[in-house]
Chain A
Amino acid sequence: MKEKSSELAVKSAPYYGGKLEIVPKIPVRSLEDFSIWYTPGVAAVSKAISMNKELSFDYTWRWNTIAVVTNGSRVLGLGNIGPEAALPVMEGKSLIFKFLGGVDAFPICLNVSDPEKFVEVVKTLEPGLGGINLEDISSPQCFYILDRLRSEMSIPVWHDDQLGTAAATLAGLYNALKLVDKKLNKVSIVLFGAGASNIATARIFEKAGVDMSKLILIDSKGILHSERDDIDELMLHNPWKYELALKTNRAKVTGGPENALEGADVLIAASSPGPGKIKKEWVAKMADKPITFLLANPVPEMWPWEAKEAGAAVVATGRSDFPNQVNNSLVFPSVFRGALDVRARTITDTMMLKAAEALANYVTEDKLNADHIIPTMDEWEVYIYVAAAVAEQARVENVARNPLHYDEEFVRAKKIIQRSRKILMSLMEQRFIKPLPKVD
């Protein structure tokens, strides 16, 4: 399947010349109308905004427009391939934003590797945008960039590789725990891999009430603890991991992954492609009814059936061809839908928690089972529920410029997302969008 999609992608890229274009949304009956949309008419609109900058959200596309920003320093599993090579990925991301969330997103690929400069450049983009989605930026710079932009900008800033995956993971975990009848604040969790997503996952787990003293992080150097040999180096070069080293693994477990996994309730692996990264005998040593999330793509750290054979009660992966796909595409379109609709100044951690809860609760008790702990992307209504939960929380927390109640956002999000899908369908029907090229 992967080979076929690669072939199609390479053929389609020049065939369509990328994936997005800008299409007007106002009528142009004749060139006369440009006097409304452009000068002289537009001057009155500009004047109004200059008197009250908030009007830029009402009078322009700002209410619904975000930038997908990268410097191409860590693109998918391809590494530092540069901003040009990142562009097709950013286009794809923008496409998903539009199709699933009705969000107008466009790619910005920056030729900037210095985090300081990156922050400065992105900050200057604020006046024209409703939000920023950071993408494919190497770790640990991505933590610094996100933390700074979140605190210094007055529009939502999201780094999907961190937050999107973390929120989807938490949603999956909420439901997996229901199945094995364990409590989030009681379980012992092992995070295998300490890249952008698992560091963010640890941070959101803490907010969700996980007992951090029992959580164990494992990175390429082994089990993390507060007295590991490289701890002072981490303090200087990866303060995010350092902070976690101080909070987690109070028992100071050392040794190989098997020592960390012994008696653990939950394993969240987000490391490098398997199989064979996690061994069956390690999973066999976990507590009763263990939960294993094996999120590496394209091949999970161990095959899901191996995890099951070793006794795992619930298994999730990052892949759509196995049950339980922990997929950040379930999160970011709706988080931005909700955040944009209330014109949120930021996306808080609690808004993220609410998104994860809404995502989990969409799988109702009658549908919840070990092979269905998280919705799939086909269940498009889930986006409406998540958007409404995010908007509602933004209002409760007073970060909404345009507060909306849950029901109001539910109706609004539904309308916008439906419209977005209908427009694409209609363009396809009318052959403005050509069918996919044939591959042999």
Chain B
Amino acid sequence: MNGIVYRKASEKDIDRLIELNIRLKRLNEEFDPLFKLREDIVEKSREYFQRALNSPDSVVVVAEDGGRVVGFIKADVVERLFYEPKIEGNIVEFYLLPEYRRKKLGAAMLDYVIKLLKERVDIITAEFPALNEIAVEFYSRLGFRGIVSTYARES
């Protein structure tokens, strides 16, 4: 698909980011009831993106088609206190609208983010629900492998 532009997000994208973030979280909810959406998810999303856009340690990138944002990635730069390599670029949110999937655009957007982070980080990690096999397949194809497991139970 031609004409897709990747760029850093800015304040004017926040409403759209909230919308796409909610889609992403709803998808997570499909995988596991422990990802049930909070009622105040809109406000929380707004605060979240505002904070990220103002933080030197977060990167938010959007994919744009004809001026319309159709996907986004949020990554954080984190220090790994005990391990080498020391600085990690952690992809915490990743969403692309369905009609833009399976066209290598997700990989291209990820590439764009990694390029932005390259100077600063030595290792790239990604988080997603354990049962999201589509994500497992996607990251595995790009050479990622699992290094951390999060197990949960309701107390």
Query: Which A residues form the contact surface with B (CB < 8 A)?
Result: 226-227, 229, 231-233, 235-237, 242, 245-246
Contact A226 B97 (CB under 8 A): yes
Contact B30 A226 (CB under 8 A): no
Contact B26 A242 (CB under 8 A): no
A233 CA / B26 CA spacing, docked (Å):
8
Total cross-chain contacts (CB, 8 A): 27
Most B CB within 10 A of own CB, among A226, A227, A232, A237: A232
B99 adjacent to chain A (CB < 8 Å):
yes
- Would you give 20 A-B contacts (Cβ < 8 Å), ordered by A? A226-B97, A226-B98, A226-B99, A227-B98, A229-B23, A229-B26, A231-B23, A232-B26, A232-B30, A232-B98, A233-B27, A235-B98, A236-B27, A236-B30, A236-B31, A237-B30, A242-B98, A245-B98, A246-B98, A246-B99
A173 CA / B31 CA spacing, docked (Å):
41
A78 CA / B98 CA spacing, docked (Å):
35
B residues near A245, Cβ cutoff 8 Å: 98
B residues near A233, Cβ cutoff 8 Å: 26-27, 30
Q: Which of A227, A229, A236 contacts B97 (CB 8 A)?
A: A227
Chain A residue with the shortest CB-CB distance to B133? A236
A232 CA / B23 CA spacing, docked (Å):
8
Besides A226-B98, A232-B27, A242-B98, 5 other A-B contacts (C-beta < 8 A):
A229-B26, A231-B23, A233-B26, A233-B30, A235-B98
Query: Which B residues form the contact surface with A (CB < 8 A)?
Result: 23, 26-27, 30-31, 97-99
Contact A231 B30 (CB under 8 A): no
B residues near A242, Cβ cutoff 8 Å: 98
| Distance to closest chain A CB from B67 (angstroms) | 16
B residues near A227, Cβ cutoff 8 Å: 97-99
A232 CA / B31 CA spacing, docked (Å):
11
A187 CA / B16 CA spacing, docked (Å):
35
A237 CA / B97 CA spacing, docked (Å):
17
A236 CA / B32 CA spacing, docked (Å):
12
A226 CA / B23 CA spacing, docked (Å):
13
A247 CA / B27 CA spacing, docked (Å):
21
A residues near B26, Cβ cutoff 8 Å: 229, 232-233
B residues near A229, Cβ cutoff 8 Å: 23, 26
Chain B residue with the shortest CB-CB distance to A252? B99
A residues near B31, Cβ cutoff 8 Å: 236
A residues near B27, Cβ cutoff 8 Å: 232-233, 236
A242 CA / B31 CA spacing, docked (Å):
17
A residues near B30, Cβ cutoff 8 Å: 232-233, 236-237
A246 CA / B26 CA spacing, docked (Å):
19
A237 CA / B29 CA spacing, docked (Å):
13
| Distance to closest chain A CB from B74 (angstroms) | 18
Most A CB within 10 A of own CB, among B23, B31, B99: B99
Chain A residue with the shortest CB-CB distance to B95? A232
| Distance to closest chain A CB from B131 (angstroms) | 10
B residues near A236, Cβ cutoff 8 Å: 27, 30-31
A residues near B23, Cβ cutoff 8 Å: 229, 231-232
| Distance to closest chain A CB from B88 (angstroms) | 28
A232 CA / B29 CA spacing, docked (Å):
10
B residues near A235, Cβ cutoff 8 Å: 98
| Distance to closest chain A CB from B86 (angstroms) | 36
| Distance to closest chain B CB from A230 (angstroms) | 8
A residues near B99, Cβ cutoff 8 Å: 226-227, 246
A residues near B98, Cβ cutoff 8 Å: 226-227, 231-232, 235, 242, 245-246
Chain A residue with the shortest CB-CB distance to B27? A232
Closest 8 CB pairs of A and B: A232-B27, A226-B99, A246-B99, A231-B98, A236-B30, A226-B98, A233-B30, A246-B98
B residues near A232, Cβ cutoff 8 Å: 23, 26-27, 30, 98
A residues near B97, Cβ cutoff 8 Å: 226-227
Chain B residue with the shortest CB-CB distance to A226? B99
Chain B residue with the shortest CB-CB distance to A242? B98
A75 CA / B46 CA spacing, docked (Å):
48
A235 CA / B31 CA spacing, docked (Å):
12
| Distance to closest chain A CB from B147 (angstroms) | 26
B residues near A231, Cβ cutoff 8 Å: 23, 98
A229 CA / B30 CA spacing, docked (Å):
13
A231 CA / B30 CA spacing, docked (Å):
11
A242 CA / B23 CA spacing, docked (Å):
15
| Distance to closest chain A CB from B24 (angstroms) | 8
| Distance to closest chain B CB from A227 (angstroms) | 6
Chain B residue with the shortest CB-CB distance to A237? B30
| Distance to closest chain B CB from A407 (angstroms) | 46
A246 CA / B27 CA spacing, docked (Å):
17
| Distance to closest chain B CB from A280 (angstroms) | 34
| Distance to closest chain B CB from A244 (angstroms) | 12
A229 CA / B26 CA spacing, docked (Å):
9
| Distance to closest chain A CB from B20 (angstroms) | 10
A242 CA / B98 CA spacing, docked (Å):
9
Chain B residue with the shortest CB-CB distance to A232? B27
